[in-house]
């Protein structure tokens, strides 16, 4: 059901790769809620994914940009301003990638060049987006910037690897930049800490199926889906959340407040019935 929450609002969506992507769902809901959007991704992801078809179908500009390149970001934001005929109201940063995860390098055997790339793509790019947006003054007062995070920023999650460090940095950037952007321009900056979700980035994590199942058993409301995450993003872009800023907002069915649940305990006990000890 649509509520027209974003009627008259304009924004940029980073990170829609295919229809499983959280950003793809956000893009769909932005349109349903009356927003105008510009889509962006890396040239490679545009070639590999289905985003070009999505853009063509809805007649939306798709502007290639590598979010680690300030030059690309400057071009993207100038182009978006030209397209909209003025400033915008929201930005979604839905970007993550770790070569250490991809190449199965363990956390105690990291490749440091890969680590630099993980941090640049998954965290520092958020600073670059914010800094470029502020310097070019692309956001209207009471605009909203949202990035996607994961609870591994606070708690150690097996096999999440150097992405945990990237998420911790991402959330810190939301606070540090949120202070300045709020004080000077009345712009909100928040991160949403989402349940494990079956997407291309998510399924790159070793043992991801088990993680999804465990999180679901632990969460009283069950895992939050990509669709539900998109609803939360829409809320944060809307005028209903004007005084929420510098927050890391859990969207995880209650997982982050749990220690042990009945459903997880039940499953755990089954392993003892089967005679497993380790
Ligand atoms: N899937 C999960 O379990 C989960 C859980 C919590 C948070 N998140 C976060 O949600 C966000 C979106 O991921 P997703 O799960 O939708 O997966 P996804 O693979 O669909 O999206 C990741 C996107 O990052 C883009 N990207 C990678 N490098 C880039 C670069 N240099 N410049 C611009 N874009 C680049 C990719 O092209 C892709 O579109 C990520 O930040 C991810 O860490 C995902």
Q: Tell how far the Cα of 201 is from the centroid of ligand 1, in angstroms.
A: 5
The least confident of 28-42, 46-60, 192-206 is 192-206
Ligand 1, pocket-test mutation among 16, 24, 95, 132, most atoms within 8 A of CB: 95
- 250 in a domain, yes or no? yes
pLDDT value for 277: 63
- 277 in a domain, yes or no? no
117 pLDDT band, cuts 50/70/90, is: very high
pLDDT value for 23: 98
Q: Tell how far the Cα of 202 is from the centroid of ligand 1, in angstroms.
A: 8
Q: What percent of the chain has pLDDT over 90?
A: 92
- 266 in a domain, yes or no? no
pLDDT value for 142: 98
pLDDT value for 206: 79
Ligand 1, pocket-test mutation among 120, 199, 204, 252, most atoms within 8 A of CB: 199
Q: Tell how far the Cα of 92 is from the centroid of ligand 1, in angstroms.
A: 11
The least confident of 70-74, 96-100, 177-181, 197-201 is 197-201
pLDDT value for 275: 72
Distance of alpha carbon 226 from alpha carbon 24, whole angstroms: 9
Measured from the Cα of 122, ligand 1's closest atom is 41
Asked whether residue 222 carries a pLDDT value surpassing 80, the answer given is yes
> What average pLDDT score do residues 40-46 get?
97
The domain spanning residue 44 has which CATH number?
A: 3.40.50.720
Each residue of 48-59: pLDDT tens digit? 989 999 999 999
Category of 210 on φ-ψ map: left (φ > 0), alpha (ψ -120 to 50) or beta: alpha
> What average pLDDT score do residues 1-16 get?
96
> H-type helices in the chain, by residue range?
22-32, 43-48, 51-58, 70-84, 99-102, 112-119, 125-136, 163-185, 200-203, 208-218, 226-237, 262-273
- The dihedrals phi and psi of 62, each to the nearest 5 degrees, come to -120, 110
Q: Tell how far the Cα of 275 is from the centroid of ligand 1, in angstroms.
A: 39
278 pLDDT band, cuts 50/70/90, is: low
Distance of alpha carbon 150 from alpha carbon 249, whole angstroms: 10
Ligand 1, pocket-test mutation among 13, 20, 22, most atoms within 8 A of CB: 22
Each residue of 165-184: pLDDT tens digit? 999 999 999 999 999 999 99
Q: Tell how far the Cα of 87 is from the centroid of ligand 1, in angstroms.
A: 25
Measured from the Cα of 67, ligand 1's closest atom is 32
Structural domain total, the chain: 1
Q: Tell how far the Cα of 95 is from the centroid of ligand 1, in angstroms.
A: 4
pLDDT value for 236: 98
- 244 in a domain, yes or no? yes
- 56 in a domain, yes or no? yes
Q: Share the mean pLDDT of the chain.
A: 96
Each residue of 130-163: pLDDT tens digit? 999 999 999 999 999 999 999 999 999 998 999 9
The domain containing residue 183 runs over which residues? 10-208+222-257
Q: Tell how far the Cα of 272 is from the centroid of ligand 1, in angstroms.
A: 37
276 pLDDT band, cuts 50/70/90, is: low
- 66 in a domain, yes or no? yes
Ligand 1 surroundings by CB, under 6 angstroms: 14-15, 17, 21-23, 41-42, 45, 66-68, 94-97, 121, 148-150, 194, 196-197, 199-202
pLDDT value for 191: 99
> What average pLDDT score do residues 222-228 get?
98
Picking from 175, 188, 172, 263, the residue whose alpha carbon sits closest to that of residue 221 is 263
- 238 in a domain, yes or no? yes
- 85 in a domain, yes or no? yes
204/93: higher pLDDT: 93
Distance of alpha carbon 10 from alpha carbon 106, whole angstroms: 41
pLDDT value for 201: 86
Asked whether residue 123 carries a pLDDT value surpassing 80, the answer given is yes
pTM of this prediction exceeds 0.85? yes
Ligand 1, pocket-test mutation among 39, 126, 202, 213, most atoms within 8 A of CB: 202
> Residue whose CA is closest, atom 9 of ligand 1?
148
- Partners of 146 in beta bridges: 92, 190
> What average pLDDT score do residues 224-231 get?
98
């Amino acid at each position: 059901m649509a509520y027209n929450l974003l009627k008259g609002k304009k924004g940029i969506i980073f990170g829609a790769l295919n229809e499983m992507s959280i950003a793809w769902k956000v893009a769909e809901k932005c349109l349903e809620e009356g927003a105008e959007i510009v889509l962006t991704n890396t040239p490679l992801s545009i070639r590999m994914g289905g985003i070009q078809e999505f853009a063509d179908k809805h007649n939306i500009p798709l502007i290639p940009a590598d979010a680690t390149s300030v030059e690309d970001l400057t071009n993207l934001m100038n182009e978006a301003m030209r397209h909209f005929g003025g400033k915008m109201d929201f930005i979604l940063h839905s970007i993550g990638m770790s070569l250490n995860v991809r190449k199965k390098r363990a956390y105690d055997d990291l490749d440091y060049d890969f680590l630099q790339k993980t941090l640049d793509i998954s965290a520092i790019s958020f600073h670059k987006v914010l800094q470029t947006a502020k310097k070019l003054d692309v956001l209207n007062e009471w605009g909203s910037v949202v990035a996607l995070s994961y609870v591994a920023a606070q708690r150690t999650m097996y096999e999440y690897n150097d992405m945990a460090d990237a998420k911790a940095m991402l959330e810190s950037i939301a606070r540090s930049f949120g202070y300045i952007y709020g004080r000077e321009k009345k712009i909100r900056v928040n991160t949403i800490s989402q349940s494990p979700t079956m997407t291309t980035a998510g399924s790159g994590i070793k043992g991801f199926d088990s993680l999804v199942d465990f999180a679901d058993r632990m969460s009283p409301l069950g895992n939050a889906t990509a669709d539900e995450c998109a609803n939360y993003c829409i809320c944060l872009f809307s005028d209903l959340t004007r005084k929420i800023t510098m927050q890391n907002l859990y969207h995880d069915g209650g997982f982050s407040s749990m220690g042990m649940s009945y459903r997880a305990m039940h499953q755990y006990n089954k392993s003892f019935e089967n005679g497993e000890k380790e």
